[in-house]
Amino acid sequence: MAVRFKRSYRDRKKAVARRKKTIINVLILVFFFQVLFSVFFGTIRVDSISMEPSMEVGSAMIFSPFVYGYKIGTSIKRFPQVKAPERGDIIVLTPPYVQEKRGFVTFLFSIIRFLSFGKINLSSLLSESWENRFLVKRIIALPGDTVKMSDFTASIKPGNSEYFLNEFEVIHSSYDTNMGELPAGWNDSLPFSGNMDPVTLGDNEYFVLGDNRMQSSDSTSWGILHKDRIAGKILMAYWPLNKIKVFE
- pLDDT for residue 123: 55
Given this model, what pLDDT does residue 28 score? 82
- Determine the 3-state secondary structure of 217 from DSSP: coil
Pairing of strands 42-45, 225-226: unpaired
Q: Which residue has the higher pLDDT, 37 or 48?
A: 48
Cα–Cα distance for residue pair 65/92, rounded to 1 Å: 9
Show Cβ contacts of residue 206 under 8 Å, excluding neighbours closer than 6 positions. Answer: 85, 139, 141, 142, 143, 219, 224, 225, 226, 227, 230
Has residue 21 got a pLDDT over 80? yes
Share of residues in the chain with pLDDT > 70 (%):
75
What's the CA gap between 236 and 51, in Å, rounded? 14
Mean pLDDT of 105-123: 55
Q: Is the pLDDT of residue 91 over 90?
A: yes
Q: 71-75, 93-97, 180-184, 244-248: which has the minimum mean pLDDT?
A: 71-75
Check residue 117 and give its pLDDT: 47
Tell me the torsion sign for CA atoms 192, 225, 92, 103: negative
* Pairing, β 196-200 against β 230-239: unpaired
Instruction: Give the closest residue to 61 by CA, choosing from 96, 91, 30.
Output: 91
pLDDT at 129: 39
Give tens-digit pLDDT for 192-248: 788 899 999 999 999 999 999 988 999 999 999 999 999 899 999 988 888 899 998
Backbone angles phi, psi at 111, to 5 degrees: -65, -45
Q: Topology of 41-98+133-181+188-246 in CATH?
A: Umud Fragment, subunit A (2.10.109)
Mean pLDDT of the chain: 81
pLDDT band at residue 131 under the 50/70/90 scheme: very low
The pLDDT value given to residue 127: 47
pLDDT given at position 72 = 62
In tens, the pLDDT along 153-189 reads 999 999 888 999 999 999 998 999 988 777 777 777 6
Residues 6+ apart with CB under 8 A from 55: 46, 61, 90, 136, 211, 237
Give the global pTM. Answer: 0.75
| Consecutive H or E run containing 246 | strand 245-246
Query: pLDDT by residue (tens digit) across 51-61?
Result: 999 999 989 89
Domain boundaries, the chain: 41-98+133-181+188-246
Q: Name the β-bridge partners of 237.
A: 61, 245
- Please give the backbone phi and psi of residue 120, each rounded to the nearest 5 degrees, phi first: -110, 120
Strand-pair category, 146-150 with 90-93: unpaired
Q: Is the pLDDT of residue 120 over 80?
A: no
160 within 8 A of 108, measured Cβ to Cβ: no
Contact 144, 87 (CB under 8 A): no
